[in-house]
A and B are shown apart, each in its own frame.
Chain A
Amino acid sequence: MSSETTLQALQELDFTRDLPPEQMEKLAALAFEVHFPENFTIFRELEAGELIYLIKSGQVALFVRVPGKGRTTILTLGPGELLGWSSLFPSGRKTASARTTTPVEAIAFNAAQLREAMEEDNALCCSLLWRVTQIIASRLKATRLQLLDIYAPSQEH
Protein backbone atom coordinates (compact mmCIF):
# COMPACT_ATOMS: atom_id res chain seq x y z
CA MET A 1 0.00 0.00 0.00
CA SER A 2 1.44 3.40 -0.93
CA SER A 3 1.95 5.96 1.79
CA GLU A 4 -0.60 8.16 -0.02
CA THR A 5 -3.24 5.45 0.32
CA THR A 6 -2.29 4.97 3.96
CA LEU A 7 -2.61 8.69 4.53
CA GLN A 8 -6.07 8.63 3.03
CA ALA A 9 -7.03 5.68 5.22
CA LEU A 10 -5.79 7.48 8.35
CA GLN A 11 -7.76 10.58 7.39
CA GLU A 12 -10.92 8.50 7.43
CA LEU A 13 -10.40 6.79 10.79
CA ASP A 14 -11.88 8.39 13.93
CA PHE A 15 -8.67 7.83 15.86
CA THR A 16 -6.48 9.84 13.50
CA ARG A 17 -8.89 12.03 11.53
CA ASP A 18 -8.26 15.24 13.47
CA LEU A 19 -4.46 15.00 13.65
CA PRO A 20 -2.47 17.93 12.17
CA PRO A 21 -1.19 17.17 8.64
CA GLU A 22 2.47 16.87 9.66
CA GLN A 23 1.63 14.30 12.36
CA MET A 24 -0.62 12.43 9.96
CA GLU A 25 2.24 12.21 7.46
CA LYS A 26 4.64 10.88 10.09
CA LEU A 27 2.16 8.20 11.05
CA ALA A 28 1.46 7.31 7.42
CA ALA A 29 5.18 6.74 6.89
CA LEU A 30 5.19 4.18 9.73
CA ALA A 31 1.93 2.47 8.86
CA PHE A 32 1.25 -0.55 6.71
CA GLU A 33 -1.95 -2.32 5.78
CA VAL A 34 -2.77 -5.85 6.95
CA HIS A 35 -5.58 -8.26 6.10
CA PHE A 36 -6.73 -11.14 8.25
CA PRO A 37 -9.16 -13.90 7.32
CA GLU A 38 -12.10 -14.88 9.53
CA ASN A 39 -11.21 -16.87 12.68
CA PHE A 40 -7.59 -15.76 12.60
CA THR A 41 -5.73 -15.26 15.87
CA ILE A 42 -3.96 -11.90 15.62
CA PHE A 43 -2.22 -12.16 19.00
CA ARG A 44 -2.47 -14.13 22.20
CA GLU A 45 -2.85 -13.09 25.82
CA LEU A 46 0.50 -12.37 27.57
CA GLU A 47 2.41 -12.25 24.27
CA ALA A 48 4.85 -9.39 23.91
CA GLY A 49 3.15 -8.27 20.70
CA GLU A 50 5.03 -5.86 18.48
CA LEU A 51 2.14 -4.44 16.52
CA ILE A 52 -0.71 -2.05 17.17
CA TYR A 53 -3.69 -1.90 14.82
CA LEU A 54 -6.40 0.52 13.75
CA ILE A 55 -9.29 -1.52 12.38
CA LYS A 56 -10.56 -0.32 9.01
CA SER A 57 -13.24 -2.94 8.51
CA GLY A 58 -14.44 -6.15 10.09
CA GLN A 59 -14.67 -7.29 13.68
CA VAL A 60 -12.17 -8.63 16.21
CA ALA A 61 -13.11 -10.42 19.44
CA LEU A 62 -10.92 -9.99 22.51
CA PHE A 63 -11.02 -13.01 24.77
CA VAL A 64 -9.34 -14.38 27.86
CA ARG A 65 -9.05 -17.95 29.03
CA VAL A 66 -10.83 -18.41 32.33
CA PRO A 67 -10.01 -21.58 34.29
CA GLY A 68 -13.08 -23.79 34.35
CA LYS A 69 -14.93 -21.64 31.78
CA GLY A 70 -12.60 -21.75 28.82
CA ARG A 71 -12.41 -18.98 26.27
CA THR A 72 -14.53 -15.99 27.29
CA THR A 73 -15.10 -13.09 24.93
CA ILE A 74 -14.93 -9.84 26.87
CA LEU A 75 -15.20 -7.28 24.10
CA THR A 76 -15.47 -6.94 20.36
CA LEU A 77 -13.88 -4.17 18.35
CA GLY A 78 -15.03 -2.83 15.02
CA PRO A 79 -14.14 -0.25 12.37
CA GLY A 80 -12.22 2.77 13.65
CA GLU A 81 -11.20 1.12 16.91
CA LEU A 82 -7.71 0.62 18.32
CA LEU A 83 -6.48 -2.92 18.84
CA GLY A 84 -3.47 -3.97 20.88
CA TRP A 85 -2.75 -0.67 22.67
CA SER A 86 -0.83 -2.39 25.48
CA SER A 87 2.14 -2.81 23.11
CA LEU A 88 2.53 0.95 23.09
CA PHE A 89 4.13 0.64 26.51
CA PRO A 90 7.66 -0.79 26.62
CA SER A 91 6.86 -3.66 28.95
CA GLY A 92 3.39 -4.13 27.48
CA ARG A 93 2.21 -7.65 27.07
CA LYS A 94 -1.14 -8.31 25.47
CA THR A 95 -3.88 -8.32 28.09
CA ALA A 96 -6.22 -10.50 26.01
CA SER A 97 -6.15 -12.64 22.91
CA ALA A 98 -7.54 -11.23 19.67
CA ARG A 99 -9.31 -13.30 17.07
CA THR A 100 -11.15 -12.12 13.97
CA THR A 101 -14.85 -12.97 13.71
CA THR A 102 -15.03 -11.63 10.14
CA PRO A 103 -12.37 -10.81 7.57
CA VAL A 104 -10.51 -7.75 8.85
CA GLU A 105 -8.62 -4.91 7.18
CA ALA A 106 -6.43 -2.85 9.46
CA ILE A 107 -3.64 -0.30 9.53
CA ALA A 108 -0.70 -1.65 11.55
CA PHE A 109 2.16 0.11 13.31
CA ASN A 110 5.30 -1.34 14.77
CA ALA A 111 5.05 -0.36 18.44
CA ALA A 112 8.78 0.24 18.88
CA GLN A 113 8.94 2.51 15.81
CA LEU A 114 5.87 4.36 17.00
CA ARG A 115 7.37 4.88 20.47
CA GLU A 116 10.57 6.17 18.87
CA ALA A 117 8.62 8.64 16.74
CA MET A 118 6.71 9.80 19.82
CA GLU A 119 9.92 10.30 21.78
CA GLU A 120 11.32 12.45 18.96
CA ASP A 121 8.18 14.52 18.50
CA ASN A 122 6.49 15.74 21.68
CA ALA A 123 3.48 17.10 19.83
CA LEU A 124 2.87 13.75 18.14
CA CYS A 125 3.39 12.00 21.48
CA CYS A 126 0.86 14.27 23.15
CA SER A 127 -1.73 13.81 20.36
CA LEU A 128 -1.47 10.04 20.40
CA LEU A 129 -1.43 9.68 24.18
CA TRP A 130 -4.57 11.83 24.47
CA ARG A 131 -6.33 9.57 22.02
CA VAL A 132 -5.13 6.35 23.64
CA THR A 133 -6.09 7.69 27.08
CA GLN A 134 -9.59 8.50 25.83
CA ILE A 135 -9.93 4.98 24.50
CA ILE A 136 -8.70 3.41 27.72
CA ALA A 137 -11.05 5.65 29.72
CA SER A 138 -14.05 4.71 27.61
CA ARG A 139 -13.20 1.01 27.88
CA LEU A 140 -12.85 1.39 31.64
CA LYS A 141 -16.31 2.98 31.82
CA ALA A 142 -17.73 0.22 29.66
CA THR A 143 -16.12 -2.44 31.85
CA ARG A 144 -17.69 -0.89 34.96
CA LEU A 145 -21.08 -1.01 33.28
CA GLN A 146 -20.52 -4.63 32.27
CA LEU A 147 -19.52 -5.51 35.85
CA LEU A 148 -22.70 -3.92 37.21
CA ASP A 149 -24.78 -6.53 35.35
CA ILE A 150 -27.40 -3.85 34.71
CA TYR A 151 -29.90 -6.12 32.97
CA ALA A 152 -30.10 -8.56 35.87
CA PRO A 153 -33.70 -9.00 37.09
CA SER A 154 -34.63 -6.76 40.03
CA GLN A 155 -37.52 -6.79 42.50
CA GLU A 156 -40.19 -4.44 41.15
CA HIS A 157 -43.95 -4.40 40.89
Chain B
Amino acid sequence: MLNTMTTPTAPVPHPGPMLTFPARILEIKEEAYAIATYQIAFESEAVRKTYRFRPGQFNMLYLPGIGEVPISMSSDPAESEVIGHTIRYAGNVTRAISRLQTGDVIGVRGPYGSYWPMERLIGDDLCIVTGGIGLAPLRPVIYHVLRHREQYGRVYLLYGARTPKDMLYTDEYEAWKQQGIQILLTVDRADPSWRGNVGVVPMLFYQLRLDPKKTAVLTCGPEIMIHFVIYEALARRISKERIYVSMERNMKCGVGLCGHCQFGPAFVCKEGPVFAYAAIEPFFGVEEF
Protein backbone atom coordinates (compact mmCIF):
# COMPACT_ATOMS: atom_id res chain seq x y z
CA MET B 1 0.00 0.00 0.00
CA LEU B 2 1.31 3.42 -0.89
CA ASN B 3 2.14 5.73 1.98
CA THR B 4 -0.42 8.45 1.43
CA MET B 5 1.13 10.61 4.14
CA THR B 6 3.96 11.40 1.77
CA THR B 7 1.96 11.50 -1.44
CA PRO B 8 0.28 14.60 -2.81
CA THR B 9 -3.39 14.84 -1.98
CA ALA B 10 -6.19 13.34 -4.03
CA PRO B 11 -7.00 14.57 -7.52
CA VAL B 12 -9.58 17.22 -8.25
CA PRO B 13 -12.92 15.40 -8.57
CA HIS B 14 -14.73 15.77 -11.85
CA PRO B 15 -18.22 14.77 -12.92
CA GLY B 16 -17.75 11.91 -15.37
CA PRO B 17 -14.31 10.40 -15.31
CA MET B 18 -14.66 8.66 -18.68
CA LEU B 19 -16.58 11.44 -20.45
CA THR B 20 -14.85 13.00 -23.43
CA PHE B 21 -15.75 16.55 -24.41
CA PRO B 22 -14.99 18.22 -27.73
CA ALA B 23 -12.40 21.00 -27.61
CA ARG B 24 -11.26 23.30 -30.39
CA ILE B 25 -7.62 24.08 -31.16
CA LEU B 26 -7.19 27.83 -30.83
CA GLU B 27 -3.47 28.11 -31.44
CA ILE B 28 -0.50 25.91 -32.27
CA LYS B 29 2.96 27.15 -31.36
CA GLU B 30 6.09 25.33 -32.51
CA GLU B 31 8.40 25.07 -29.49
CA ALA B 32 11.27 22.94 -30.83
CA TYR B 33 11.85 20.20 -33.37
CA ALA B 34 8.76 17.92 -33.31
CA ILE B 35 7.36 19.66 -30.23
CA ALA B 36 4.46 22.12 -30.22
CA THR B 37 2.07 23.67 -27.71
CA TYR B 38 -1.64 23.40 -28.49
CA GLN B 39 -3.99 25.92 -26.86
CA ILE B 40 -7.45 24.42 -26.75
CA ALA B 41 -10.86 25.42 -25.36
CA PHE B 42 -13.88 23.23 -24.68
CA GLU B 43 -16.71 23.76 -27.12
CA SER B 44 -19.30 23.63 -24.34
CA GLU B 45 -19.43 26.84 -22.36
CA ALA B 46 -20.61 24.92 -19.29
CA VAL B 47 -17.57 22.63 -19.41
CA ARG B 48 -15.25 25.55 -20.15
CA LYS B 49 -16.51 27.48 -17.13
CA THR B 50 -16.31 24.59 -14.67
CA TYR B 51 -13.11 22.86 -15.81
CA ARG B 52 -10.19 23.32 -13.43
CA PHE B 53 -6.81 21.64 -13.23
CA ARG B 54 -3.88 21.64 -10.83
CA PRO B 55 -0.20 21.90 -11.82
CA GLY B 56 1.09 18.45 -12.77
CA GLN B 57 -2.23 16.89 -13.83
CA PHE B 58 -2.93 15.57 -17.31
CA ASN B 59 -5.77 15.21 -19.82
CA MET B 60 -6.48 12.34 -22.20
CA LEU B 61 -6.55 13.76 -25.73
CA TYR B 62 -8.64 11.72 -28.14
CA LEU B 63 -8.65 11.43 -31.91
CA PRO B 64 -11.52 9.25 -33.17
CA GLY B 65 -10.29 6.18 -35.00
CA ILE B 66 -6.72 6.69 -33.87
CA GLY B 67 -6.61 6.65 -30.11
CA GLU B 68 -5.96 8.56 -26.90
CA VAL B 69 -2.81 9.98 -25.41
CA PRO B 70 -2.16 11.33 -21.89
CA ILE B 71 -0.69 14.83 -22.04
CA SER B 72 0.09 17.08 -19.07
CA MET B 73 -1.25 20.57 -19.02
CA SER B 74 1.50 23.11 -19.61
CA SER B 75 -0.46 26.35 -19.21
CA ASP B 76 -1.48 28.59 -16.32
CA PRO B 77 -3.94 26.72 -14.07
CA ALA B 78 -5.52 30.02 -13.10
CA GLU B 79 -6.64 30.53 -16.70
CA SER B 80 -8.26 27.17 -17.33
CA GLU B 81 -10.73 28.29 -19.99
CA VAL B 82 -7.88 27.96 -22.46
CA ILE B 83 -5.72 24.94 -21.75
CA GLY B 84 -2.20 24.40 -23.07
CA HIS B 85 -0.72 21.01 -23.89
CA THR B 86 2.87 20.71 -25.07
CA ILE B 87 3.15 17.65 -27.28
CA ARG B 88 6.10 15.81 -28.73
CA TYR B 89 5.30 13.99 -31.94
CA ALA B 90 6.56 10.54 -31.08
CA GLY B 91 3.85 7.95 -31.81
CA ASN B 92 0.67 7.29 -33.79
CA VAL B 93 -1.65 9.59 -31.84
CA THR B 94 0.77 12.47 -31.43
CA ARG B 95 1.79 12.28 -35.10
CA ALA B 96 -1.88 12.44 -36.03
CA ILE B 97 -2.24 15.47 -33.74
CA SER B 98 0.68 17.06 -35.59
CA ARG B 99 -1.45 17.02 -38.75
CA LEU B 100 -4.26 19.02 -37.09
CA GLN B 101 -4.65 22.72 -37.59
CA THR B 102 -6.06 25.67 -35.73
CA GLY B 103 -9.85 25.34 -35.67
CA ASP B 104 -9.86 21.54 -35.65
CA VAL B 105 -11.64 19.72 -32.83
CA ILE B 106 -10.27 16.96 -30.60
CA GLY B 107 -11.75 15.00 -27.71
CA VAL B 108 -10.58 15.80 -24.20
CA ARG B 109 -11.28 14.12 -20.88
CA GLY B 110 -9.73 14.98 -17.58
CA PRO B 111 -8.09 16.34 -15.55
CA TYR B 112 -6.51 13.25 -14.06
CA GLY B 113 -3.90 12.36 -11.54
CA SER B 114 -2.18 13.87 -8.54
CA TYR B 115 -0.48 17.23 -8.67
CA TRP B 116 2.50 19.13 -7.35
CA PRO B 117 1.66 19.94 -3.71
CA MET B 118 1.89 23.71 -4.01
CA GLU B 119 -0.12 24.39 -0.84
CA ARG B 120 2.10 22.11 1.22
CA LEU B 121 5.20 23.87 -0.13
CA ILE B 122 4.17 27.37 0.94
CA GLY B 123 7.08 29.01 2.74
CA ASP B 124 9.65 26.69 1.15
CA ASP B 125 12.44 27.22 -1.33
CA LEU B 126 11.67 25.36 -4.54
CA CYS B 127 14.22 23.67 -6.74
CA ILE B 128 12.55 22.70 -10.02
CA VAL B 129 14.78 20.30 -11.93
CA THR B 130 13.77 19.14 -15.36
CA GLY B 131 14.98 18.07 -18.75
CA GLY B 132 13.62 18.02 -22.28
CA ILE B 133 9.84 18.05 -22.53
CA GLY B 134 9.73 17.43 -18.76
CA LEU B 135 9.47 21.20 -18.38
CA ALA B 136 5.89 21.07 -19.71
CA PRO B 137 4.23 19.59 -16.57
CA LEU B 138 6.27 21.98 -14.43
CA ARG B 139 5.41 25.16 -16.32
CA PRO B 140 2.06 25.38 -14.44
CA VAL B 141 4.10 25.29 -11.21
CA ILE B 142 6.09 28.27 -12.44
CA TYR B 143 2.90 30.15 -13.34
CA HIS B 144 1.45 29.31 -9.93
CA VAL B 145 4.60 30.56 -8.19
CA LEU B 146 4.56 33.78 -10.22
CA ARG B 147 0.95 34.41 -9.17
CA HIS B 148 1.77 33.71 -5.51
CA ARG B 149 5.40 34.81 -5.43
CA GLU B 150 5.23 36.03 -1.84
CA GLN B 151 4.26 32.53 -0.63
CA TYR B 152 7.52 30.89 -1.66
CA GLY B 153 11.16 31.52 -0.83
CA ARG B 154 13.97 31.17 -3.33
CA VAL B 155 12.88 29.46 -6.54
CA TYR B 156 15.37 27.80 -8.87
CA LEU B 157 14.69 26.32 -12.29
CA LEU B 158 17.39 23.90 -13.42
CA TYR B 159 16.64 22.92 -17.00
CA GLY B 160 18.57 20.75 -19.42
CA ALA B 161 18.02 19.96 -23.07
CA ARG B 162 19.78 18.04 -25.78
CA THR B 163 20.82 21.16 -27.70
CA PRO B 164 20.01 24.88 -27.36
CA LYS B 165 17.41 24.52 -30.12
CA ASP B 166 15.54 21.88 -28.10
CA MET B 167 14.78 24.21 -25.18
CA LEU B 168 11.13 24.96 -24.54
CA TYR B 169 9.44 28.29 -23.76
CA THR B 170 12.66 30.27 -24.25
CA ASP B 171 10.73 33.49 -24.88
CA GLU B 172 9.38 33.37 -21.31
CA TYR B 173 12.64 32.98 -19.39
CA GLU B 174 13.36 36.70 -19.14
CA ALA B 175 9.96 37.41 -17.57
CA TRP B 176 10.41 34.51 -15.15
CA LYS B 177 13.83 35.82 -14.13
CA GLN B 178 12.46 39.31 -13.58
CA GLN B 179 9.92 37.86 -11.17
CA GLY B 180 12.57 36.24 -9.04
CA ILE B 181 13.07 32.79 -10.51
CA GLN B 182 16.74 31.91 -10.80
CA ILE B 183 17.21 29.95 -14.02
CA LEU B 184 20.18 27.71 -14.76
CA LEU B 185 20.20 26.18 -18.22
CA THR B 186 22.40 23.47 -19.60
CA VAL B 187 22.67 21.48 -22.81
CA ASP B 188 24.21 18.11 -23.55
CA ARG B 189 25.57 19.32 -26.87
CA ALA B 190 26.44 22.95 -27.40
CA ASP B 191 26.54 24.78 -30.69
CA PRO B 192 29.05 27.60 -31.27
CA SER B 193 26.48 30.25 -30.27
CA TRP B 194 25.79 28.73 -26.84
CA ARG B 195 27.32 30.63 -23.93
CA GLY B 196 25.63 28.75 -21.11
CA ASN B 197 26.36 25.54 -19.26
CA VAL B 198 27.27 22.29 -20.98
CA GLY B 199 26.63 19.03 -19.14
CA VAL B 200 23.72 17.14 -17.70
CA VAL B 201 21.13 18.86 -15.56
CA PRO B 202 21.94 17.16 -12.19
CA MET B 203 25.39 18.77 -12.34
CA LEU B 204 23.73 22.17 -11.96
CA PHE B 205 23.15 21.33 -8.29
CA TYR B 206 26.85 22.06 -7.80
CA GLN B 207 26.17 25.73 -8.54
CA LEU B 208 23.56 26.08 -5.79
CA ARG B 209 23.67 26.51 -2.05
CA LEU B 210 20.45 24.90 -0.89
CA ASP B 211 19.05 24.85 2.62
CA PRO B 212 17.99 21.20 2.96
CA LYS B 213 15.51 21.95 5.74
CA LYS B 214 13.45 24.34 3.66
CA THR B 215 14.06 23.20 0.08
CA ALA B 216 11.70 20.99 -1.89
CA VAL B 217 12.79 19.43 -5.18
CA LEU B 218 10.25 19.02 -7.98
CA THR B 219 11.52 16.95 -10.87
CA CYS B 220 10.23 15.62 -14.16
CA GLY B 221 12.02 14.27 -17.21
CA PRO B 222 13.55 11.05 -18.47
CA GLU B 223 13.55 8.53 -15.62
CA ILE B 224 17.31 8.05 -15.75
CA MET B 225 17.70 11.81 -15.28
CA ILE B 226 15.35 11.68 -12.29
CA HIS B 227 17.58 9.00 -10.72
CA PHE B 228 20.55 11.34 -10.83
CA VAL B 229 18.52 14.32 -9.64
CA ILE B 230 17.39 12.31 -6.60
CA TYR B 231 20.99 11.26 -5.98
CA GLU B 232 22.19 14.88 -5.97
CA ALA B 233 19.25 16.05 -3.84
CA LEU B 234 19.83 13.32 -1.23
CA ALA B 235 23.56 14.13 -1.26
CA ARG B 236 22.55 17.63 -0.19
CA ARG B 237 20.54 16.16 2.71
CA ILE B 238 17.18 17.03 1.22
CA SER B 239 14.80 14.46 2.70
CA LYS B 240 12.95 11.87 0.61
CA GLU B 241 9.68 13.44 1.72
CA ARG B 242 10.69 16.75 0.14
CA ILE B 243 11.56 15.34 -3.27
CA TYR B 244 8.59 15.15 -5.65
CA VAL B 245 8.76 13.19 -8.88
CA SER B 246 6.43 13.12 -11.89
CA MET B 247 6.48 9.61 -13.32
CA GLU B 248 5.65 8.53 -16.83
CA ARG B 249 4.07 5.17 -17.60
CA ASN B 250 1.80 3.73 -20.27
CA MET B 251 -1.43 5.39 -19.16
CA LYS B 252 -4.57 4.24 -20.97
CA CYS B 253 -7.77 4.70 -18.97
CA GLY B 254 -6.63 7.58 -16.76
CA VAL B 255 -8.75 6.44 -13.82
CA GLY B 256 -6.87 3.47 -12.37
CA LEU B 257 -9.06 0.75 -13.88
CA CYS B 258 -7.11 -0.82 -16.73
CA GLY B 259 -3.83 -1.41 -14.93
CA HIS B 260 -1.56 -0.46 -17.84
CA CYS B 261 0.30 2.09 -15.75
CA GLN B 262 0.77 0.01 -12.62
CA PHE B 263 3.91 1.02 -10.80
CA GLY B 264 4.47 -1.17 -7.77
CA PRO B 265 1.32 -0.85 -5.66
CA ALA B 266 0.30 2.40 -7.40
CA PHE B 267 -1.37 3.36 -10.63
CA VAL B 268 0.51 6.26 -12.14
CA CYS B 269 -2.67 7.70 -13.70
CA LYS B 270 -4.48 7.80 -10.36
CA GLU B 271 -2.05 7.93 -7.43
CA GLY B 272 0.47 9.68 -9.69
CA PRO B 273 1.88 11.02 -11.89
CA VAL B 274 3.27 13.17 -9.06
CA PHE B 275 4.67 11.17 -6.15
CA ALA B 276 6.75 12.01 -3.13
CA TYR B 277 9.97 10.06 -3.60
CA ALA B 278 9.55 8.60 -0.10
CA ALA B 279 6.39 6.86 -1.31
CA ILE B 280 7.92 5.20 -4.36
CA GLU B 281 11.49 4.62 -3.23
CA PRO B 282 11.09 0.82 -2.72
CA PHE B 283 10.18 0.24 -6.35
CA PHE B 284 11.71 3.26 -8.07
CA GLY B 285 14.36 2.04 -10.49
CA VAL B 286 13.46 -1.63 -9.97
CA GLU B 287 13.71 -3.17 -13.43
CA GLU B 288 10.43 -5.13 -13.34
CA PHE B 289 8.50 -1.98 -12.43
Contacts and interface: CB of A to CB of B under 8 A. Distances in A.
B222 interface: yes
B89 to A, nearest CB: 8
A138 interface: yes
Contacts of A101: 195
A153 B69 CA distance: 16
Contacts of A148: 224
A155 B91 contact: yes
Contacts of A73: 190, 194, 198
B225 interface: yes
A157 B200 CA distance: 26
B203 A74 contact: no
B90 A79 contact: no
Contacts of A129: none
B204 to A, nearest CB: 9
Interface in A121-157: 138, 141-142, 145-146, 148-157
Contacts of A150: 131-132, 221-222, 224-225
A14 B206 contact: yes
Contacts of A157: 67, 69-70, 90-94
B124 interface: no
B222 A151 contact: yes
A52 to B, nearest CB: 17
A80 interface: yes
A23 interface: no
Contacts of B207: 78-80
B197 A145 contact: no
B169 interface: no
B27 interface: no
Interface in A62-103: 72-76, 78-81, 101
Contacts of A154: 90
Nearest to B90: A156
Contacts of A81: 206
A153 B131 contact: no
Central interface residue in A75, A148, A151, by most chain B CB within 10 Å: A151
Contacts of B190: 72-73
22 contacts: A74-B198, A76-B186, A78-B197, A78-B206, A79-B207, A80-B207, A81-B206, A138-B203, A142-B203, A145-B200, A145-B228, A149-B188, A150-B131, A150-B132, A150-B222, A151-B161, A153-B34, A155-B90, A156-B90, A156-B91, A157-B69, A157-B94
Interface of A: 14, 59, 61, 72-76, 78-81, 101, 138, 141-142, 145-146, 148-157
Interface of B: 34, 67, 69-70, 88, 90-94, 131-132, 160-162, 166, 186, 188, 190, 194-200, 202-203, 206-207, 221-222, 224-225, 228, 231
